[in-house]
Amino acid sequence: MAMALVRYTGTSAKSFFLLNTRNVASVLSAKEKEYYPHLGNRQIVGYGVNGIPIYYDDAAFPFPPIRYQEFTDKISALVEKEKGDWSKLSTEEKRQLYRFSFRRTIAEVTAPNIDWKFGLSWALGVMGFAMSYYLFYLYFGMSFIC
């Protein structure tokens, strides 16, 4: 590999690595630099949809690109404990670790909601108003305007 670097760069491998050392901030992509001020103390753990690190729960994409909660001292201790034997973790600690990464479970995400009732009530209300206006205009004609 060192010979390939010499052929590719025209310098030795040692000088290539010494000249190309960068600080950690320059390793971040442009999108990460753009979104990190908005993320707070959250960890980017995946790519996400279109590479945008925004948290959302969706059954089609069950793994969000960032963690749900920010790091705290309590969570940091649990994460260190998580690296060990999981049988030593209590059920409550496992739940806290899960809720650290996710806001809702898959069962909660896919549960039926009642948003369709709100839309249906608006549609029926608008149609009722339009029908009332039409019948009023049909009964009185233009005489009520003049």
Statement to judge: residues 70 and 120 lie in one domain: no
| Domain identity same for 119 and 107 | no
Compute CA 122 distance to the chain's CA centroid, rounded to the nearest angstrom. 30
Give the pLDDT score at 28.
66
Give dist(CA 71, CA 85) in Å, integer.
21
For 10-54, the pLDDT digits (tens) are 555 444 444 444 444 556 667 677 777 777 788 888 887 887 888
Q: Which amino acid is at 56?
A: Y
CA–CA distance, 50 with 144 (Å, rounded to integer): 58
Residue 88 burial (CB count, 10 A): 9
Q: Decide if 11 is inside a domain.
A: no
What pLDDT score was predicted for residue 63? 87
Cα atoms in the 13 Å half-sphere on the side-chain side of 55: 18
- Inside any domain, residue 135: yes
Q: What tens digit of pLDDT does each residue of 102-137 get?
A: 999 999 999 998 899 999 999 999 999 999 999 988
Task: Print the domain residue range for 143.
Answer: 114-146
